[in-house]
Amino acid sequence: MTVIDGHSEHALGEVVDVHGQVVDETGVPVGDALVDVWQANHHGRYAHEADPNPAALDPHFQGWSQFRTDVEGRYRFRTIKPGAYPVADEWSRPPHIHFKVALRGYHELTTQMYFGGHKLNDVDRLLLAVPEVERGSLVVAFKGGAGEKSGVPQGKFDLVLRKV
């Protein structure tokens, strides 16, 4: 959020809360893991100089963050639902958020979280490259919204790190 002359300016798009837990292969919580997240803005554009997408940048949206998990391996952040964007003539990426999780003693994990119910999920080349039995763990159904206490849809995305 940016404050200009006493007025708040917010990023464009639907606000969502994402939370989850980082655990090892045996289900033990992984505390103090570094979690990097990055995503496109509401228009489908990354705030990165190498993004060729001509869509508009949002001056009120940073597009990335870093944080650490708590002692129970939990994390939580508020963002906006990213927009889809074109990659090639007949391929557009669905809304997704990139995650990179690292902690000494574990293999670094880089993955993506997809938004359940989006039509482009069914044709996304990267999601379809994931074995079908694993695909569901990458797609998050957001619940809540206007009727919830916070009024913000909530999505849970758990992550598993493998020990070195």
Residue 163, strand partner residues: 106
Q: Is 55 helix (H, G, I), strand (E, B) or coil?
A: coil
Sole residue written with tokens 């909530």: 154
Length of the chain equals 164
Hey, what are 160's tokens? 């598993």
Among positive and negative, which fits the CA dihedral 79, 83, 86, 90? positive
Long-range contacts of 50-56 (CB under 8 A, 24+ apart): 53/85, 53/86, 55/83, 55/85
Q: Catalytic residues, which ones?
A: 46, 85, 93, 96, 98
Task: Give the distance, in angstroms, between the CA of residue 159 and the centroid of all CA atoms in the same chain.
Answer: 12
d(CA 41, CA 82): 5
Contact 10, 60 (CB under 8 A): yes
